[in-house]
Structure 1
């Protein structure tokens, strides 16, 4: 049975794509077949983390939504060597980075039903254990679909008043859509903050479990989306926290 995990944030700049990529890779490191769909069609970017050259993306999620190909034909095997050694697999369905194609989606929209059907077909065709959806920040029809079909909704936020307000709205929507499991991840926490205090405050405020509290990490900033953190720094305390969060999210 495939588990669908949507990673969402109300605002941009929370580190959502980095978190999605690391969670997916760590899930695959346990010998699982994992796929990531970049549904942040307006501002795609998770392909950069996997070192994909934009010129090498011949087919994208956009092409599937325009019925030029099947969704599986828009998938790319981006399995890192370390994960292949563990018998795991990682597939990525990127969104187009071409300005004209982004503009077309914004102008014309797309069929949410077609996207839903594609995600279900992808799970079958690739025989997935986990499907991760990297969503577009905020609330739109794609977000509502992602929440509706997810087994787990991961909401990432920063210790910021605007993020708190947006997260509260997102949780209201998730509850109305009967999301089976929702967890919070708090990112970019300043070193002066006590992680346990932050965790308790957030979980009490929102009445939702917190899967991880991640500090501002200099190595993550220096990496600058040029790789997957848990592979570049396998023994880093930040990676240990990622593993703990992954265990809570995928089980």
Structure 2
């Protein structure tokens, strides 16, 4: 079974989509087929890959029909690998009480449409890795994606609200018995000591911290095929993400 990596954040503007796009490219450059399933209907991912959100939504619908598979034309070649982006997010995302949803998922784990859709979809993707990019914050689709994850990655910025929300998210994920949880600090200013920050986060949450990624300037937010990790592999952000990619490569034999 392809590892499912759910990528979540407590709010917008933490750089989650940019991180996901570059991470997918780095995995693909290692020769893997990477499917990104976008559950956030206002994500930047379609723009970053130059794809039409309407086409992506139609493709998602078609894949729910018995016997349909993802056509090779949907895959973007990246090095020896490839990337496919699917849009699964609806236009209504319902805020929920995280703890009440945990109880619901534990008592009726197959009773949600998103879970059923993904269960049908994933075997037909022929992907080595599945990246689930969630709608940020406390909402139903996000917590359902928690429950499906082999690895749950929380992306946070350095502010009090993110620190507090991340603690709650970790508690919820542990109640859902997620196999592996990791943290990534994103948009870290260059003057911050990354090693000290990582040590502080580990001490605060008692969770693995996969990296502290340097802030990227708006002018560096280029789209595929000139994403930052492609155009500037020696950029501190790219190098930090390469280390995170190495951790994901360990998930497969």
Sort the TM-score into its range (normalised by shorter chain).
0.7 to 0.9
Q: How does 1:1-251 map to 2 (within 5 A)?
A: 1-41=1-41, 43-54=42-53, 56-57=55-56, 59=58, 61=60, 63=61, 72=69, 77-80=74-77, 83=78, 85-86=79-80, 88-94=81-87, 102=91, 105=92, 113-218=112-217, 221-224=218-221, 226-227=223-224, 228-251=227-250
Aligned CA distance change for structure 1 residues 136 and 158 (closer, same or farther; 3 Å)? same
Q: CA deviation at 1:198?
A: 0.6
- Tell me, what secondary structure is at the counterpart of 1:59? helix
1:11 and 1:71 mapped to 2: Cα distance? 35
Aligned CA distance change for structure 1 residues 142 and 78 (closer, same or farther; 3 Å)? same
- Tell me, what secondary structure is at the counterpart of 2:132? strand
Question: Which residues of structure 1 form unaligned runs of 5+?
Answer: none
- Tell me, what secondary structure is at the counterpart of 2:121? helix
CA-to-partner distance for each residue in 1:121-168, whole Å, 9 max, x for gaps? 332112221110000111222111111111000000011111101111
Q: CA deviation at 1:240?
A: 1.6
Instruction: Provide the aligned C-alpha RMSD in A.
Output: 2.7
Q: TM-score, normalised by structure 2?
A: 0.81
Q: CA deviation at 1:56?
A: 5.0
1:129 and 1:182 mapped to 2: Cα distance? 20
Could you tell which deviates more after superposition, 16-25 or 47-56?
47-56
Partners of 1:11 and 1:166 within 8 A in 2: no
Could you tell which deviates more after superposition, 27-36 or 205-214?
27-36
Question: Which residues of structure 2 form unaligned runs of 5+?
Answer: 95-109
Aligned length: 233
